Amino acid sequence: MKAQIKVDGKIISELSEKIPTNIIALNELIKNSYDAGATTVTIELNTKNKTLRIIDDGSGMNKKDIDILFHISKSIKKHGTKNEYGRITQGSKGLGFLSVFKFGKQVEWKTKRNNGFRFSVNYDKLIKTDDISHFPIELFTDGNIQKGTEILINTDEYNANSLKEYFLYETNYRKMINSFDDNNFNIEIIIDNNPLCSTKDKIPLLDNEKKYQMFYITYNSKIEKIIIKYGKNIIATESYQFPYKHFSLNMELLVFYFKSHGKNKIDKLFFNPNDDLTPLIYFNTNLFNNYTIFDPNIMRNIKTTQVLNQMIGFIRILSKNSLVDFNSDRSQFLQNEKTDNIKDFIYKINKKIQEMGSGNKDYYANFHFLKKNEIPADYSDPNNSEKYRKIIKDDFIYKDKVEIRIQADKVIFSLFGKKKALNIKNDKDSSSSTNVGQEKSPVPAKIVLNCNDKLEITIPVDQKDLKDYVAYVYDSNGKLVGNDILIVKIDGKNYGHSILHAITKPCEKIIEYIYNDPITGVEVKELKLFFKKPISNITTNKTSYLFTIPASKDYIINYNQYIDKLIEQINKLPLNKNIEIISCSLRVLFELSIDGIVKSGKFPSIFNSIEKFNDKVIEIIKFIKNNNKYISEIANKAKTEYNGLVKMLSVDDYKRVINKTHLGSHKSTMYITESDIHDIIKHLAIFMILTNEMINNTNIT
């Protein structure tokens, strides 16, 4: 007599729960595509049909691979080792296929390595099985299947809307498409037939806010040296021993010096859940969802003068060691000696980098390496510029490289492309100065905003650090103090932080900035924020009423002298009584837009071999749609919402609209209705904005 081990189908449910979120599950599926050598993975979400498709152009699966796919906890992959495609292997736990059940209960695979196979699994039937080792999965051969793998998941309304809502936030979809640190791997996301983004739109690290870049810092565990650059100049290096063999480390960091609002223009990829800038950690080329191992604010509670918290970049960890593992949502390492070594080393080198970089931070950021704010009259020597070198602080390591020029009543100090001019004080100024030894009376502390104290903001907006609205804080001695010392209240409540969470509905918020000066006491500055819905008229040089889009009320269309006159005349006509004349005029506005682009001369080859008017309109939509930077630029100029603009750039919608416009100009109301006209105008208004920005915006070329 023998006993038999059975595995009940409920184990599938329990194992699936170890994959905590849809996004982590999606990453698990993409890892399989990556391991299969795919160069492109397409994520297609259709909320209307409630389907999710993951398509890759990898090597596909044969019968043996399919058997392994459904062999739970069985994997031939060795995590951390290079596979046949020269990539670091991702999957190794044999739980990858369970990820599909986070999205839906009916799943179909189509795959081809040598032969095409099609098969499906129903979750409800699977978990009801008494012994899943006997659960039948029928394979069908299909000669029409393309090489690679396609997974079609019939999802439900909750999961479909949950994924769509997640991808509405730029921070989220930027992390998804950049979840692999590999320039030869492209992830693209399509929501309801509209391309949202792809890895090809990746922004190079050093292209982020060049104006405010301060330090570029690198460390490689093979070289064992921290290198800090200011521009192209190495300003500090220091050896830093790397004693471990079970992992390697490469760090590439970019430090900024923003006075206010600058961080909002940084790639959203580098924002943590608290809306603070942060470097990203990649473990074996896959994004590690952790924001505590490397904390840019590590010195805030130790020594605030040594904080370099305006930092982004990449921390790349590689390891083949089986003990270097993490939890199911890739947010924490499993604790053991090997992973403790990694966390400890990153903590210590972070502190070291902060100490090295912050030493001369104020010198480089504000050019504060001079001992004086002006040059005394008796110190002036118009024939000896070197005399003024004594004004440079002795501990500034580039003291000898500062260029000094005398110009009229000023002395100009130049270094690394920056300049600082000091006025030469005359004798009259000296005689009126405060007597030596006279004690300076304290003045009230002061909080200065970088905006009006009443500010209108268009919704929706992501969470916001309210301290970004503060330009300066002066104490009673007239000295600058850091914004971090402020207490921030929102509607009279102190939440212990300065983060205002995402706002999606119209509302008002009263913000109080409080600074307690040790001499003059409490100083309070109030800021009122009005969050408003962004619906307004599109205007030319005159007010319009028929052409409405979610844009700022002061947006002006000015690429053609007749545009404003034509729109003004159309808007004087009641639609219900003048539908014929209006329907005949809409094509003219499209034609004037195309004509404006041609005559601008900025895009000489954009309509090469394209003769039909309809095709030219579609070519413009494709031109903008395929460049996320252009979409961001246009959304910023029109002060409209990025994702809303993306949705409007549907090629199929514009084909439909142009066909109706053509009918309107030739057949009038025989084939066109008032509803059609509103639809055409909605798309025409967007097209006019695209045209306006293409012609007038120097960042679109």
Looking at 323, 343, 363, the residue that finishes a domain is 363
Widest CA span in the chain: 113
Q: Which of 9-23, 58-72, 155-169, 558-572 has the highest mean pLDDT?
A: 155-169
| Cβ pair 490, 466 in contact under 8 A | yes
Q: Is residue 291 part of a domain?
A: yes
Residues 142 and 258 in one domain: no
Q: Is residue 2 part of a domain?
A: no
What span, in angstroms and rounded, lies between the C-alpha atoms of 341 and 317?
12
Question: Which DSSP helix (H) or strand (E) runs through 656?
Answer: helix 651-666
Q: Quick one: 604 exposed, middle or buried, by C-beta within 10 A (0-12, 13-18, 19+)? A: exposed
Length in residues, the chain: 701
Of 78 and 77, more confident: 78
Residue 494: left (phi > 0), alpha (psi -120 to 50), or beta? beta
Q: Where are the beta strands (DSSP E) in 100-206?
A: 104-112, 116-122, 140-141, 148-155, 186-191, 194-198
Query: Lowest-confidence range among 9-13, 208-212, 422-426, 611-615?
Result: 9-13
Q: Which residue has the tokens 């130049």?
A: 414
pLDDT tens-digit readout, 612-648: 888 899 999 999 988 888 888 888 787 777 777 887 8
% of the chain with per-residue pLDDT over 70: 83
Q: Is residue 183 part of a domain?
A: yes
pLDDT band at 16 (very low <50, low <70, confident <90, very high): low
pLDDT band at 87 (very low <50, low <70, confident <90, very high): very high
Task: Tell me: pLDDT of 5 over 60.
Answer: no
**How high is the pLDDT of residue 253?**
97
Query: Lowest-confidence range among 48-52, 55-59, 598-602?
Result: 598-602
Tokens at residue 418, please?
A: 């920056």
Residues 543 and 604 in one domain: yes
Q: Computed from CA positions of residues 620, 624, 630, 635, in that sequence, does the dihedral angle turn out positive or negative? A: positive
Q: Is residue 545 part of a domain?
A: yes
DSSP 99: G
Q: What is the 3-state secondary structure (H, E, C) of 459-496?
A: CCECCEEHHHHEEEEECCCCCECCHHHCEEEECCEECC
What span, in angstroms and rounded, lies between the C-alpha atoms of 661 and 681?
10
What span, in angstroms and rounded, lies between the C-alpha atoms of 522 and 154?
60
Q: Is residue 670 part of a domain?
A: yes
Residues 583 and 505 in one domain: no
pLDDT band at 441 (very low <50, low <70, confident <90, very high): low
pLDDT tens-digit readout, 120-136: 988 888 888 776 666 77
Task: Tell me: pLDDT of 436 over 50.
Answer: no
Looking at 363, 395, 421, the residue that finishes a domain is 363
Residues 343 and 327 in one domain: yes
pLDDT tens-digit readout, 135-165: 778 889 998 998 999 999 999 888 898 898 8
Looking at 532, 547, 577, the residue that finishes a domain is 532
> What CATH code is carried by the domain that includes residue 358?
3.30.230
Residues 63 and 182 in one domain: yes
**How high is the pLDDT of residue 435?**
46
Tell me the mean pLDDT in the region 656-662: 80
Task: Tell me: pLDDT of 76 over 90.
Answer: no
Of 558 and 524, more confident: 524
| Cβ pair 380, 372 in contact under 8 A | no
Residues 359 and 403 in one domain: no
Q: Is residue 380 part of a domain?
A: yes
Residues 421 and 487 in one domain: no
Number of domains present in the structure of the chain:
5
> What CATH code is carried by the domain that includes residue 490?
2.60.40
Task: Tell me: pLDDT of 13 over 80.
Answer: no
Q: Is residue 436 part of a domain?
A: no
Residues 571 and 668 in one domain: yes
Residues 552 and 528 in one domain: no
> What CATH code is carried by the domain that includes residue 14?
3.30.565.10
Residues 83 and 145 in one domain: yes
Structural domain including 522 reads 446-532
**How high is the pLDDT of residue 18?**
62
Question: Which DSSP helix (H) or strand (E) runs through 25?
Answer: helix 22-35
Residues 15 and 119 in one domain: yes
Average pLDDT, the chain: 82
**How high is the pLDDT of residue 21?**
74
pLDDT tens-digit readout, 344-385: 999 999 999 988 887 667 667 667 778 887 887 766 677 777
Q: Is residue 441 part of a domain?
A: no
**How high is the pLDDT of residue 366?**
66
Residues 187 and 216 in one domain: no
Torsion angle, alpha carbons of 43, 46, 47, 50, to 10: -100
Query: Lowest-confidence range among 286-295, 438-447, 468-477?
Result: 438-447
**How high is the pLDDT of residue 668?**
44
| Cβ pair 571, 538 in contact under 8 A | no
For the chain, first and last CA: distance in Å? 80
Instruction: Write the DSSP string, 562-614.
Output: THHHHHHHHHTS-GGG-HHHHHHHHHHHHHHHHHHHHHH-S-TTTTTT---HH
pLDDT tens-digit readout, 660-689: 777 655 444 445 677 778 888 888 888 888
